[in-house]
Homo-oligomer: A and B are copies of this chain.
């Protein structure tokens, strides 16, 4: 168990890299994909909502969203609160979602197909517990 976290990060890097390779045709990156995915599920969102969901800091979200906007995959939605930047997928964004979704679903399915359901369940719950625990850590 010595190398638990080492191995954990190893898979994380490799997974992200492979996802990036799989959607490179679409000129998309994993983190961009995750926002596209979120928007498809939630219709509209503010940057703070996205930031909270992924637990990624706001400046990072701002930048990635800007890239999606430059590529016209997302667009602004009117909002009562003038501070807010509420966004949604464009037609083009939805199209990219469909294409990326197919590729990524297949990739992920194939990745776990030989692993017993029970083991995946336990792994999922264990990571969930680790996440819960680490989020209770007082910030330094």
Contacts and interface: CB of A to CB of B under 8 A. Distances in A.
Integer count of this chain's copies in the complex:
2
Interface of A is mostly: helix
A137 B103 CA distance: 14
A85 to B, nearest CB: 22
A126 B123 contact: yes
Interface residues of A, number: 46
Contact of A133 (B4, B8, B111, B119): B111
Interface string A63-92: 000000000000000000000000000000
A114 B134 CA distance: 12
Interface of A: 1, 4-16, 18, 21-22, 24, 34, 54-56, 108, 111-112, 114-115, 119-131, 133-135, 137, 139-140
